[in-house]
Structures are given as C-alpha cells and as structure tokens.
Chains A and B, each alone.
Chain A
Amino acid sequence: MSYLSLSNVTKQFGDTTVVDNFNLEIAKGEFVSFLGPSGCGKTTTLRMVAGFETPSSGNILLNGVDITHNAPNQRNVGMIFQSYALFPNMTVAQNIGFGLKVRKEADDVVKQRVSEMISLIHLEAHANKYPYQLSGGQQQRVSLARALAIRPQVLLLDEPLSALDAKIRVSLRSEIRSIQKTLGITAIFVTHDQEEALSISDRVVVMNAGEIEQVGTPFEIYNFPKTRFVANFVGSLNTAKAEILDPASGLLNMEGIQLQTDDGTKNRKKGDTVTFAIRPERFSFVSEGKKENVVEGRVVNITFLGSVVRIQLQIGKTNFNMDTFNRPSLELPKIGDSCQVSCSKKAVLILED
C-alpha cells in the first residue's frame, strides 16, 4: 500500500505544460529523489505536494486522504527550501518552535520538542543565535529541525544543498539521510545533481521536460538506464546507432563492426536500427583476458581524471570513451596507437528513444 500517491498529476501555466501526467507511488519511510535538469518540473511537482500550486488535473493522496485541494497550512507536510527561509527575527529555538506555537501546542511541549530537535541537529551551542549569525550549513540544519518539529507526514526538500560548498554538501547529505532513517520519515528530495540523487536515495525518479523518464533504485538507474535521456544524464555514457542482424541472439552491426548484446532485441526485427549504450568503465583491454565483443580502436586522446584514466578510442567511425583504473602497473597505449578492447554482452544496453 503506498503512503503518498500522485496519480495523473498535470500542471499547466497558461499554455505550457510543466508537469505532464505524473504518476508515482511512494511507500512509508521511503527516500525518493526527483532528478532532472533545471526547468524539468521538479520544484513544481514538489510544490503541488506542499500545496503551493494546485494541479491542473490529477490527484494527490497522502495516507489515503485526498489532499489535492487542501491549503498548505491544512497539510502536515514539511518543506525545506534551497534558501533556508529561516525567519530572520527569530532565534534558532524560536524558529524551530514556530510551527508548534502556531498550532497552539502547550509551552512545555514546545520547549521539550525544540530541545529534542536542537540536539538532533547538534546545534545546542547556538540555540539563542539569530540566523544571520550562522553559516549556511547550520542554517539549513535549523530549517530541517524546524520542518521536523511539527512531525510532518512527508518531508519535502527542494535542492536543500545547492547553496552550500562541496564539503558541507556531502556531509550534510549523509546527515539528512541518517536523520531520515532514524525517524523513519517519508521524504522527497529534489536535485539536479546525479551523484547526490544516487548516493542517498532508496529510489530515483528521473525527470525530463515535465515527464518521468525512469523510476528505479540507484543501482537500476545507473546500470540499466532505459532511455537515451537517462543514459546521458546519469553518469557518462557512450551511445551509438546499430542495425539488428539477428534479434534472437542479439547480434548488432555498427558500421561493419559486429557486437553482441543480451538486452532486449527479441521484440525487434532484423534490419531495425537501435541506439545502444556502453558505460566507459565496461571496456577493458583484450590483454586483460576478456574475449566478448572484441573490437579494434585507435587511441585519439588520453585524460587523467584522478583515480581513473579516460581513453578516447575511435571504433569504426565513432568515438567511445573507455575508463580504466589508474594504477602504477597500468600500461597505457600512446595516442595514435591501435589496440584491441572488449566489453561483455551485458554491457551493451539497448535504449528506448
């Protein structure tokens, strides 16, 4: 049974459809990310769950109750903004207690919950400071505590880490994830950063131009992208076109070079053109002993990326990237050399368009 469900949710601003027929079921306690480029409708979808926008059509159910048309202050949903949105005239403790105060909770309940929340985010020493006296990361933790203090049914986070520097971004995201797990709270996390989405989510919803491209675990999204968009947006992928020679065995022909796949050619016909994808790290040198899909490539460029080395190879007429671990014993070819590389049948993914 799903806890939060969005069915056929569509949002139009004037003539433009910003969210198109969005369907998603989220289980209680699940951490789901919306991942997609800027302008694809992530914030709008989140704001419909919070009640700041009303869907043009479709329904939103929370714990079996239709909340589609409830005012924002009539839902029990916590929202975290990219800009923290702390009230500047209140201290940390007052900010955290705000939601309970306006709900007319007794003073001792407020006091108790506020101190609970302050220790949850480890800001005991800053309880009486004003937002302008805190760093960005501290402010965002206060805003997390403020949202959690009202014990919301769902926590919504709209790019909460985008305004922070890289180090704090990484530490705060694991803090958010661990607090979410401890409290068992259902959360939707919006981001345009694929690494962020993959690293903290139970499931990732990849969005493009108002539509869902793919929903899956980080593992599924990364290893088995269904569409070209997902393949390109998540990680870096080589894509090329090929003709199907034998649908039954998965034999492909890319400009005279034969490749084997074991991914979904059965419902296609001989002679169909398909787009396939191979992740750079799935290639290896033949000298390392692999024998599937052996092809010859000419080295076009070599780039050091820290722990990996990226080798650009021209295979047939197409350039492919190959990533290999950067270890001292690595014997690199030179630019202009020809070399034999291979990749397994499983690494050749057929994409829907």
Chain B
Amino acid sequence: MLIELSIQISAITALGGGILGFLLAYSVTVGGLPKSLRPILMTFSGVASNFAGVPLAFAFVATIGRQGFITHILRDYLGVDVYSAGFNLYSFAGLSLVYMYFQFPLMVLIMAPALDGLKREWREAAENLGASSTQYWLKVALPVLLPSILGAMILLFGNAFGAYATAYALTGGRIGIVTIQIGAQIRGDVLYNPGLGYAMAVGMVIIMAISLAGYSWLQAKTERWLR
C-alpha cells in the first residue's frame, strides 16, 4: 500500500512528538520548572515548528549525516560509530527523527496555552473536596485537556502527512511516502502517471480534511467548556 508508509511515519512522529511536547509544555506551565525557561522554550518552538523542508534536512545531514559534524566527533574522539551501530539518517527511523524536530515544538505551542487554561481553583477545589493529586489529574485535568491533546495529535499527524520537501531533500525519494510518490508520478522522471498522482493527491486532501475537521470539532468542545 502506497499510503501505508506515510500513515506509519505520521502516526509514530505524532505520538512521539506529542508525548515529548506535552511533557515539555507541562514542565514550563504547571510543572515546577523555573518561569524563566518558558519564553526560551516558546521562542524555540515557534522557530523550530516552522523549520522544515530543505534547510532542516540539510541541518541534519550536516550534523548527524554519514559525514556529519557530530557523527565525526563521536567517531574520532569518542570512538562511537553510530552508522556501523546501525543508525542511518536516510532510513525510515532517520526520517522519523527529523520529523520529530518539527513535531514536538508544534505540540508545545498548542499545549502550553491549554495547560495555562487549567484554573488553579480547580485543583484547589478538588483538594478541598478531599481529592489527591492523582485523582485531580485523572478526573479533572486530563478530561479537560483531552480534546486539546487529541486535537493536537491530529494536527501533528496532518503536519507530518503533508511534509514533502524535508523527506525529498533528505532521502532523495528513496522512502516512498505519499507526497514523494505523488511528486514522482506527476514529474515523471522514472514513473509517469499523472492520473495516479492526482488520485493520490485527492486521497491526501481527504485525509487532511478529516484531520482538520476532527481538530476543530475537538477544539470547539474545549472552548465551550472553558468559556
């Protein structure tokens, strides 16, 4: 299945980036990290979530590519050869890693305001009524956040699903995610079947539309609660 690989990479990076992003957003909002770290993380996330495409691929090639700067340092000075240990930036795993770099910052950007929306009074009211911290999280905080979390995951999924330039620049088309397939069919260097390309593109638009609709439905649900 052509679309399978895309779905896999999107799901994996949405989940991984989602978890990492949530934990980071949690620590600078309701968690105990110093308040001064928050603007740093938010600025980084703002930049990194938009840092995709050729420059991002190049940045990774230049650092942890086969001849990358960090790869060299690790091999020459620390005696760790990550490539002979099985790592390969130009593989599915490598591509997932690169995607993570714009996935988790997007999660941070979406979750930080949602976590800010948890009112201090809810926690206090819960404690006052006898709830433990765990009970508060399970019965109040997570249910309140759930639509935002699910919505954000859908957005992350779509974000990875639609990526093209990053993957193309990094792997030169060797990994057949759907955007690259569409490109190949339409451009037609080796393959040429614009009809199939357009059909795949329509399929993609449908998946993206469903993602976005899901996102806005969940978003509306929380907004109603939090009004």
Interface pair B124/A79, CB less than 8 Å apart = yes
- Interface flags, A99-129, vs B, CB<8A=1, else 0: 1011100000000000000000000000000
Identity of the chain A residue whose Cβ is nearest the Cβ of B222 in the assembled complex = A88
With contacts A83-B121, A98-B139 taken as known, whether A88 is within 8 angstroms of B127 at the C-beta atoms is no
Interface pair B225/A85, CB less than 8 Å apart = no
With contacts A78-B128, A103-B130 taken as known, whether A132 is within 8 angstroms of B121 at the C-beta atoms is no
Interface pair A88/B128, CB less than 8 Å apart = no
A149 to chain B, nearest CB (A): 8
Contacts of A72 in B (CB 8 A): 124, 127-128
A46 to chain B, nearest CB (A): 11
Q: Does A130 contact B (CB under 8 A)?
A: yes
Contacts of B226 in A (CB 8 A): 88
Interface pair A85/B119, CB less than 8 Å apart = yes
With contacts A83-B119, A132-B227 taken as known, whether A102 is within 8 angstroms of B128 at the C-beta atoms is no
Contacts of A79 in B (CB 8 A): 124-125, 128
Interface pair A98/B227, CB less than 8 Å apart = no
Q: Does B143 contact A (CB under 8 A)?
A: yes
A153 to chain B, nearest CB (A): 13
Q: How large is the interface on A (under 10, 10 to 19, 20 to 34, 35 or more residues)?
A: 20 to 34
Contacts of B224 in A (CB 8 A): 132
B223 to chain A, nearest CB (A): 10
Identity of the chain A residue whose Cβ is nearest the Cβ of B145 in the assembled complex = A89
Docked CA distance A79–B120 (Å): 14
Contacts of B127 in A (CB 8 A): 51-52, 71-73
Identity of the chain A residue whose Cβ is nearest the Cβ of B124 in the assembled complex = A52
With contacts A130-B225, A132-B224 taken as known, whether A98 is within 8 angstroms of B126 at the C-beta atoms is yes
B146 to chain A, nearest CB (A): 8
Identity of the chain B residue whose Cβ is nearest the Cβ of A71 in the assembled complex = B127
Docked CA distance A242–B143 (Å): 66
Contacts of B193 in A (CB 8 A): none
Q: Does B50 contact A (CB under 8 A)?
A: no
Interface pair A85/B125, CB less than 8 Å apart = yes
Which listed residue, B122, B130, B227, touches A99 by the CB 8 Å rule?
B130
- Interface flags, A139-150, vs B, CB<8A=1, else 0: 000010011001
Docked CA distance A83–B135 (Å): 22
Docked CA distance A87–B127 (Å): 12
Interface pair A81/B124, CB less than 8 Å apart = yes
Q: Does B40 contact A (CB under 8 A)?
A: no
Docked CA distance A272–B52 (Å): 82
With contacts A87-B140, A102-B135, A132-B225 taken as known, whether A150 is within 8 angstroms of B129 at the C-beta atoms is yes
Contacts of B129 in A (CB 8 A): 73, 78, 98-99, 102, 146-147, 150
Q: Does B91 contact A (CB under 8 A)?
A: no
Identity of the chain B residue whose Cβ is nearest the Cβ of A156 in the assembled complex = B128
Docked CA distance A147–B135 (Å): 17
Q: Does B131 contact A (CB under 8 A)?
A: yes
Residue numbers of B with Cβ under 8 A of A are 119, 121-122, 124-132, 135, 139-140, 143-144, 224-227
Q: List 8 A-B contacts (CB under 8 A).
A: A50-B128, A78-B129, A79-B125, A85-B122, A87-B139, A99-B131, A102-B129, A130-B225
Residue numbers of A with Cβ under 8 A of B are 50-52, 71-73, 77-79, 81, 83, 85-89, 98-99, 101-103, 130, 132, 143, 146-147, 150
**Which 7 A/B pairs are nearest by Cβ-Cβ distance?**
A99-B129, A85-B121, A88-B225, A85-B125, A72-B127, A102-B131, A89-B143
